[in-house]
């Protein structure tokens, strides 16, 4: 299982990467924005993407728009992790098929619990 963490904040990438490795024993790859993530996508071939919305170069919404055009990644589960709680942004993400959203700022325990509720069912489905 491979998870791609896309966020422009290196501390957040490190925090999530460590949490995911510790909790799920998954491989974690990182990208600092949507543009870099899109370039790395074919080589990484992740099973799940954890994605920030507000980033330079290419934001999360544009990134989701782009990967939904690619047959290979059209159905990949994406977990949005953002401080943005505006209804219009959340509505746009829901219209793109994003079902999982975790608000920043993170606490280790809360984020771990939320990720368990999201990732364990995806892991079971992939094994099933």
Token pair of 99 as six digits = 């079902």
- C-alpha distance across the termini of the chain, in Å: 14
Q: Please answer whether residues 35 and 65 qualify as being in contact, where contact means their C-beta atoms are separated by less than 8 angstroms.
A: no
Which pLDDT does position 128 carry in this prediction?
63
Report the DSSP beta bridge partners of residue 103: 82
The residues spanned by each domain of the chain are 2-127
Report the DSSP beta bridge partners of residue 5: 30, 50
Q: Give tens-digit pLDDT for 61-116.
A: 999 999 999 999 988 899 988 887 777 877 887 787 787 888 788 788 888 888 88
Q: What's the topology of domain 2-127?
A: Rossmann fold (3.40.50)
pTM, rounded to two decimals: 0.89
| CA-CA-CA-CA dihedral for 6, 11, 12, 15, to nearest 10 | 110
**Residue 67: CB atoms within 10 Å:** 20
Q: Please answer whether residues 47 and 2 qualify as being in contact, where contact means their C-beta atoms are separated by less than 8 angstroms.
A: yes
Q: Radius of gyration of the chain from Cα atoms?
A: 13
SS3 30: strand
Q: Give tens-digit pLDDT for 27-57.
A: 999 999 999 999 999 999 999 999 999 999 9
């Amino acid at each position: 299982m491979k998870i791609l963490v896309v966020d422009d904040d290196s501390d957040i990438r490190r925090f999530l990467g460590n949490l995911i490795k510790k909790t799920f024993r998954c491989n974690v790859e990182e990208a600092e924005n949507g543009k870099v993530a899109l370039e790395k996508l074919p080589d990484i071939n992740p099973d799940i993407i954890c994605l920030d919305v507000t980033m330079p170069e290419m934001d999360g919404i544009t990134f989701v728009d782009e990967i939904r055009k690619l047959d290979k990644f059209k159905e990949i589960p994406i977990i949005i992790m953002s401080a943005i709680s505006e209804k219009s942004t959340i509505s746009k993400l829901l219209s793109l098929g994003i079902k999982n959203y975790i608000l920043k700022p993170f606490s280790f325990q809360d984020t771990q619990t939320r990720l368990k509720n999201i990732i364990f069912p995806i892991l079971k489905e992939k094994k099933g």
